[in-house]
Structures are given as structure tokens and as C-alpha cells.
Structure 1
Amino acid sequence: MVIQFERKGHGMKPSFILSGLFCLFFCVFCLSDPSAGAQPDPGSAPERPELRLTLREAMEAAVDNNPNVRLFKERIETARAASKTQLGALLPNLSSNVRQTRQNVFLGTIGLAPVRTDPFSIFDARANVSQSLFSLSLIQRWRASREALKVAELESESTKFDTMSAVGLLYVEALKAEATVNTRSANMQLFEELLELARNRRGGGMGTGLDTARLEAQLENERQQLAIARSEVERLKINILHGLGFAFDVRLVLTDSLKLEVPEPPNEEAAVVTAMNQRMEVKAQQQRIRTASLTLNSTETERVPSLAAQGDYGLIGNRMHNTLDTYNIGLFLTVPLFDGAREGRISESRSQVNQETIRMRVVSNQVVLDVREALVTLASAKEQLAISQVGLQAALKELALAKERFTVLTAGSNFEVTNALYSLSRARDNTVDAMFRLNGARVNLARALGELEKLN
């Protein structure tokens, strides 16, 4: 902004001087206070609501909101409807009809002339009922549909536990990422302290620029690793929200932490027995075998005679007010003699039974594998955690001694500090990794045993 003063005659007008000073003061005031006249940013994001969850609460929330779990619940309804359809074939079938017609009838030919009756009316109101009295094939089909409903329910339970396990593992992985953020922050604090000490030593003539540059490079490396760890935390929290079926516009806070100790697991033999009794995959496969067997039986019993009853009762006459009641009752015995497609259906059903029996062995082997793998992983994680804790104590002691030498000795001790810092960083990473393996193995073992609902 340019302020011009014009001189006319021998002097400047006072009003012009006051106006110019006022404008100058206003400009300086506005420049010195950036907030003057500032408006709230309409595009700023509102604060997201906070969602605090423990591991147990996260797994329970996944059961109610995950789309996959809800999908399998709808499959239960489909199986229940199919069972009702098969039951309907065993229930009475009742119907009614009313008709009013106007017609004539051809009587034949008399001589060379065709003859017909005069037009007349017929009124007929009738109720019809049919009932299957005995059909072993229909009964077996209904029983098979009930077993299929149980299969759908067990598959839903299996999907529920799979979802709980997936969310639980994501939760543990997010805890690991948060622990990594804490270790990186602690490492940065150490590097900053040593960097300040190196600069003081250099100012006193006891250090070199190389020492300072080396620590600055290491500090920036830790800063980068810290940024990566923080982004990993946010990524895993987004995945947890996705697994829970929640909206992404909430701020997730994990209230649990990685555990250093877990309960002692059962021995291998007892664990396998528990898993075979509690795993939903085993129970579902057993139900599939029963369903396939009943389906085969229903196909084979198509050879068995069936008995049904059918009847009707109604009013018939020329007019609605001029009718007589009539009825018809009958029993029908159906004896199958030959059906060329039946043998093919029987062979197909028998093959299905054999397939489900083979799958049962596959499922059983997978359950045993899951249990043994979880037990081995848990034992290894416990051992790794114990070793990492010893290593962490040693690294802390090494760093304390190196810092002491670095404080009182020459620049040659800088290499000892650098090595000690790397040792400490590696020891912290090993400890966090071992804790993650221990907690992940705890979730996997609970899933392998079918005891996720007992996990805290």
C-alpha cells in the first residue's frame, strides 16, 4: 500500500497527514495480528467420536456387526424355509373352487342332422382335500432338511469364530504397532540426548563434526521409522473397524496392552480331544454326513409304496339356489415299478455320502494341525520372550556404560555408543516381536480349541 502526500503551496494539509497516519496504523495492526478478520475454516473436519474397545469387546462386536456373520445368519433362514417346504409335503392340502357355466351338449347325429341340447346352466361349489398318509421317501427328505438346517447353524457359528479370530489378531497386531511407536519414541529421546552431548563436547574441543553428523543421521532414521510405525497403527485400526463392520468416521482407541504372561496351555493329547469336541467345523461336518445319509435314504425309499387319501365335497345344480350336495372319497396306493432315473439319483447320493466322509478326515486332520501348531508357536513365543527380556537388560547395561565412557573419554568412545544404541534398538524390537508372537499364539490357540469366547 502506497501513501502519497501532496505538497501544495508551502505546507502539507493536516487532514491529509492524519488520514495517512491512520491508514498506516491500521495496516500495521492487521499485519501484526493474522487472526484479525479470520473466519472459521468451513472445510475443517469435525472431531471424530471416540470408540474405546478391549480385545474382548472388539471380538464380541464383530459377532453382531460383521457382514460375513450376518450373511451366514441369512443362510440359516434359507435352510429353515427349505425345511418348512419339505414339511409342507406331509401336511394336508386344502383347496376350493366355485364355477358357474352356461353350456349345451352334442347328442349325436340323427339321420343326417346333428343334434344338440338346449343351453343349460351348471353351478358347482366344491372343497378338495388331499393328505399323504404314508411316504417314507417324503419323511426322509424332511428329516434331511432338518439336518441341513443344523449344518447352516453350525457353519454360522464357525464363521463367527473365524471373524472373532481375525479381529483378535488384528487387535494384537495393532497393539504391536503401538508398542513399536513407543520404542521408536524412546530411541529418539536417547539419540536427542546424545546428540546434545556430542554438540557440547564439540564446543569444548573434545568431539568432532563427524560424531555429530553420525548421531544426526541416526536420529533422522529413527524419526522416519517412527512415522512408519504411526501410519501402521492407523492402517490396522482402519482394518479393525472394517472387520467390526463399523463406520470409518470414529477414532478407535485400544485399551488393552500386550501381555507378558499367558495361562499354561493343556497338553497336546488333552488339547486335541477338547478341539474335536468343541470345534464347530467338526460338528458341522458330522451334520453334513447325516444330511447326505438321509438324502440317500430318501432316494432309496422311493421304491417303497406310498399311500395317500383324497376327497372332495360340494354343491352342484343348475342354479345356486337349486343344488344337491355330492362328495368323493378315495385312497390311493402308489407302487413304483420302474424308474430309469432313480438308480442314477441313488448313485449320486451315495457318492455324496462318501465325499462327506472323506471331508471329515480332512477336517479332523486340520483341527489336529491347528492345535499342534498353536501349541508349538506358543511354547516358542514364551522362550523368545524370555530371551528377549534378558537381551534387553544387557543392552540397557551396555548403553549405560557406553554413555559413561562417552561423557568422560575422547571421541573414540562414540563408536561404542553407536553400537550400544543399535543393540538397544534391536533388543527392544525383539521384545516387542516376542510379545506379539505370544499374544497372537494365545488367540490362535483359543481358536484351535474352539474357546474364543473364554479369551479375555
Structure 2
Amino acid sequence: MLCASLALWPSWGYAATPELPARPGTFWLQIDTLPVQPQSPAARAATVRFDSLAALTEHALRERPDSRAAWLGIQAEAARLDVASAANWPTLTGQLSFTQSRALSSSGASVPTLHRYGPSLGLAYVLYDFGARAASIDAQRYQLIAALLNNNRALQDTVAEVETAYFAVLAARAQRAAQAEQEAALRASFDAVELRLRGGLAARADQLRARAALSEATLARQLAERDIAKAEAMLKQAAGIEQTRPLLLDWETTPPPVLDSATLLAELLAEAEQQRPDLRALQAAAASARAEAERARAARWPSLSLAANSGRTFFLEDERSPSTTYSVGVNLSVPLFDGGRLAAQARAAERDAERLQAEADGQRSQVSLAVTEAYHDVRHAQAQREGVAVQFDSASESAQAAEARYRAGIGSLLEWLTAQADLARARQAQAQADSDWLAAFSRLNHALGRLPAITYERNP
């Protein structure tokens, strides 16, 4: 039995050593040695449904790993603030000791061995330290504020990614719808050519030309379906949804309000100055560095602390009586020489504060540029949308007139196909203009640092 246990002992705590590649350029193929967590097929195949963009965005904010990482960072900074705040309280330490001692005798007499044991209680409390503890707490509080603001910006980035991916899905679907309409129109043209060919009113070349145009439209529609699949994959990734789960978006998109021409760029820049979390986070980090410099400077001054101790000592030997000791005192600690460590810490913290303030100034410039570009993109997208609507109306009327002339026998097939191609381009331009308009508003909100109006509903 013992031999069998010894034979099995290595397998208890150690796994088999992986085989190493025999020579350079050899692949390692033992991937199946890694632990695999199986996932239920039913969970992978379940359809996830959303009835609003707010619900989709809420799911992304809740499920994205970077959202969880930002939240954990906040919890860590809050714990560090508790650590810094604990310095304002006294430290109470309890001990239980056991000691065996024997003194050496020079006269040759027998010296007994003593066994001492007993509890003791120690108290240490810093009474005054020239503001070092307060500066340390302020530094950590500003770090927590910076973490909170960075978390807001990370969530805003998630919202922007979801909106961008969703608008890409809308654009891809609109392109597919435009291609489907074009395919249906060219199929009707091909049927009309077939009918005229059987009646001897059209040439074989017209039939071939119509068939080629129909085939091209079919290929374009298939390409649009591929683009939809890729856009939905990007949306799933942005929303934190597994790629194997079908996605159902069950709502009508509400267009954003038209940007008022009276809205001034200066007003938007002032709004971004107040709302951008990343800009405010840099300012909080600079304040934390300045507080850290204050702490280092205060640590170079003396500190006054209270120290108290009390203990009870017992002996294993019966002839000895227990004893009680206590002490209370005030300690003054004066840093005399530290090799310039505290001065260097203060100087480094001051330089960090100046560096962070410079980064905040640079970030402010980047924010102004992003807001300005997004503002002009929105204005251009609105104008483009209006112009494309006029283009679509003209192309639609032209296509209808060309079809009527061809069916009446006074127009050519080439004229009809050209008009249909112009109409298809107008449909695609209209779909793209709508998507660009929505995306431009999303970029403007992200550049301004506006928080989304998320309604916390039940999980889909």
C-alpha cells in the first residue's frame, strides 16, 4: 500500500511536462493540454433581443471587460483612500508572548530556568505631523476622483463604439435595401426586354445588356449582405455579445434633432471644457501630485506621537508571582538626515504636477480640435442630407420617364439602364447620408463629453 501511494504521489500536485519542440521552426501542437471550460450550446444559440439603442448601450456598459476593469480600478483607489485615512486613527496592537530564559552563573551555583508568558497591549498615536497625513489623504482623494473621471470617459468611449457600430449596421442595411430595389428594377427591365424580344421589337444585344446589368445588381446585393454580417459582428464586439449568438434589433431609429444654426462653436467648446472627464481627470491627477509634494515637505519636519504599553507576565514556576507593567510617554521624532530622499520626493511630485498640467493643456487643445471637427461634420452632414434628397427625387423621376419611353418604343434600353443606375447611386447616397448624419451627431456628443441618457431596464 505504501509503495502504491509513493508511485502515485507525483501525479497529485504536478501535471505532465509538455513536450518541447525538437528543433527550431517546429510548432507545438499540444494545445489540448490546456483546461477548457465548456459552454452550453443552448446559451450560445440563444437570441439576444434589444428594443432600443439605450438598452443595447446599457448591455455594453454592463458586460464589456474594459467597463469592469475601470470599475475595479475605482474600487482599488477607494481602498487606498481608506488606507491613507487610517493614519488619523491610533494603532492598537495586542501580543501574546512566551519566553524561556536562564541566566549564566559565574560562581557555579545552580540557576533555575524561568518560563514567562502573558499578554500585552500597545498603543501608538501620531498627535501632530505638520499636515503630512492630511496631504497624503488629499493626494489619494484626488487619485480617486481621477479614477472616477477616467471611468466616465471609458464608459463614454464604449457608448461611442456601440453607436458607431450600430450606425454602420444601419448604413449596411440601407445599402442592401437600395441594392435589392435596384435588383428588382433591373429584373423588371429584363422581363420587359424579354417580352419585346419575343415580339420582335428588341434586339438580342438588348437582352444581353439587360442580363448583364441584372447579374451585376445581384452581385452587389450579395456584397451588401456580406457587409451587413460584418457590421453586425462589429456591433456584437462593441456591445460585449458573443459572436455565436443571433442579434435582434427591434426598434425604429429616431433621427436626432437638427443642429440649430444659431448654435455657436464657442458655446460647444465651453461645454466640452466643463464636461470632458479625461480633461478633468488630468487636472485631478495634477492636484494629487501637488498634495504629494506637500506631504513630502511636511515629512521633513518633526512629528509628535503618543506611545502607551501595558502587559501582564505570568510564570510557569509556582513560587513566582505574576507582575503587571505599563508605560505612557510622548515621542518626538526629528528627521536629521535622509540623504535628500524627502526633498527629492517633493521635487519629483512638483515636476509631476507641472507635467500633468501641461498634459491637461495639450488635451484641452485636442478637445477643442475634436469638437470643432465634429461640429463642422454635423453641419456638413445636414446639408449633404438635404442635397441628396433633391438628387434622389430627380433620379427617381428620370428613371420613371426613361422606363415609360422605353415601354412606348420611343426610348432606348441604354437610356433606361443609365437612369436606373443613377437612381441606384442616389439611393445609396441617401442611405449613406442618413448614416453619416447619425454618426456625426454621435461624434459630437462624444467630443463634448456628454453622458448618455441610459435607462436601466431588465436584462434582455
Q: What is the CA distance between 1:432 and its match in structure 2?
A: 1.1
Opposite residue 406 of structure 2, the aligned amino acid is: F
The residue number in structure 1 matching 2:270 is 273
Note closer, same or farther for the CA distance 1:445–1:311 as it changes in structure 2 (3 Å cut). same
The residue number in structure 2 matching 1:8 is none
The residue number in structure 1 matching 2:322 is 323
Q: Quick one: which of 72, 92, 106 aligns to 2:90? A: 92
Q: Does 1:347 align with 2:347?
A: yes
Deviations 1:354-374 (A, max 9, x none): 110101111211221121111
Q: What is the CA distance between 1:222 and its match in structure 2?
A: 1.2
The residue number in structure 2 matching 1:101 is 99
**TM-score, with structure 2 as normaliser:** 0.83
The residue number in structure 2 matching 1:332 is 331
Aligned residue runs from structure 1 range 124-135, under 5 A: 124-135=118-129
In the comparison of the two structures, how many residue pairs are matched?
409
Deviations 1:191-216 (A, max 9, x none): 00000001111111111111111111
Which has the higher mean CA deviation after the structures are superposed, 354-363 or 280-289?
280-289
**Please, what is the CA RMSD of the aligned residues?**
2.4
Which has the higher mean CA deviation after the structures are superposed, 264-273 or 417-426?
264-273
Opposite residue 56 of structure 2, the aligned amino acid is: A
Opposite residue 200 of structure 1, the aligned amino acid is: L
Larger Rg: 1
Q: What is the CA distance between 1:171 and its match in structure 2?
A: 0.5
Partners of 2:192 and 2:89 in 1: CA distance? 91
The residue number in structure 2 matching 1:296 is 293
The residue number in structure 1 matching 2:372 is 372
Partners of 2:365 and 2:309 in 1: CA distance? 59
Note closer, same or farther for the CA distance 1:335–1:44 as it changes in structure 2 (3 Å cut). closer
The residue number in structure 1 matching 2:18 is none
Note closer, same or farther for the CA distance 1:433–1:100 as it changes in structure 2 (3 Å cut). closer
Partners of 2:438 and 2:454 in 1: CA distance? 11
Which has the higher mean CA deviation after the structures are superposed, 341-350 or 358-367?
341-350
- Structure 1 runs, 4 residues or longer, greater than 6 Å off: 43-47
Q: Quick one: which of 271, 278, 283 aligns to 2:280? A: 283
Q: What is the CA distance between 1:261 and its match in structure 2?
A: 6.0
Q: Does 1:440 align with 2:439?
A: yes
Confirm or deny: 8 A CA contact 2:49 2:250 kept in the other structure: no
Partners of 1:307 and 1:320 in 2: CA distance? 41
5+ residue gaps, structure 2, are 1-40, 456-460
**TM-score, with structure 1 as normaliser:** 0.84
Confirm or deny: 8 A CA contact 2:258 2:382 kept in the other structure: no
Partners of 2:45 and 2:313 in 1: CA distance? 79
Aligned residue runs from structure 1 range 68-217, under 5 A: 68-107=66-105, 109=106, 117-135=111-129, 136-217=131-212
Confirm or deny: 8 A CA contact 1:123 1:320 kept in the other structure: no
Opposite residue 123 of structure 2, the aligned amino acid is: V
The percentage of counterpart residues that share the same residue type is: 21
Partners of 2:342 and 2:165 in 1: CA distance? 51
Q: What is the CA distance between 1:100 and its match in structure 2?
A: 3.3
Q: What is the CA distance between 1:258 and its match in structure 2?
A: 5.5
The residue number in structure 1 matching 2:306 is 309
- Report the 3-state secondary structure (helix = DSSP H, G, I; strand = E; otherwise coil) of the residue aligned with 2:452: helix
Deviations 1:32-64 (A, max 9, x none): xxxxxxxxxxx9999742513422222222111
Confirm or deny: 8 A CA contact 1:56 1:455 kept in the other structure: yes
The residue number in structure 1 matching 2:5 is none
Partners of 1:120 and 1:44 in 2: CA distance? 72
Deviations 1:121-180 (A, max 9, x none): 333421111112222223211221121111111111110011001101111110111111
Confirm or deny: 8 A CA contact 1:259 1:435 kept in the other structure: no
Note closer, same or farther for the CA distance 1:409–1:362 as it changes in structure 2 (3 Å cut). same
Confirm or deny: 8 A CA contact 2:77 2:144 kept in the other structure: yes
Q: What is the CA distance between 1:248 and its match in structure 2?
A: 3.2
Opposite residue 325 of structure 1, the aligned amino acid is: T
Note closer, same or farther for the CA distance 1:343–1:254 as it changes in structure 2 (3 Å cut). same
- Report the 3-state secondary structure (helix = DSSP H, G, I; strand = E; otherwise coil) of the residue aligned with 1:106: coil
Aligned residue runs from structure 1 range 417-456, under 5 A: 417-454=416-453
Partners of 1:230 and 1:45 in 2: CA distance? 26
Confirm or deny: 8 A CA contact 2:292 2:346 kept in the other structure: no
Confirm or deny: 8 A CA contact 1:312 1:329 kept in the other structure: yes
Q: What is the CA distance between 1:83 and its match in structure 2?
A: 1.6
Confirm or deny: 8 A CA contact 1:94 1:127 kept in the other structure: yes
Partners of 1:250 and 1:256 in 2: CA distance? 19
Deviations 1:206-250 (A, max 9, x none): 111111111111111111111111122122222222222223343
Partners of 1:276 and 1:320 in 2: CA distance? 77
- Report the 3-state secondary structure (helix = DSSP H, G, I; strand = E; otherwise coil) of the residue aligned with 1:453: coil
Opposite residue 192 of structure 2, the aligned amino acid is: L
Q: What is the CA distance between 1:343 and its match in structure 2?
A: 2.5
The residue number in structure 1 matching 2:217 is 222
Partners of 2:42 and 2:236 in 1: CA distance? 23
Confirm or deny: 8 A CA contact 2:45 2:244 kept in the other structure: no
Confirm or deny: 8 A CA contact 2:44 2:245 kept in the other structure: no
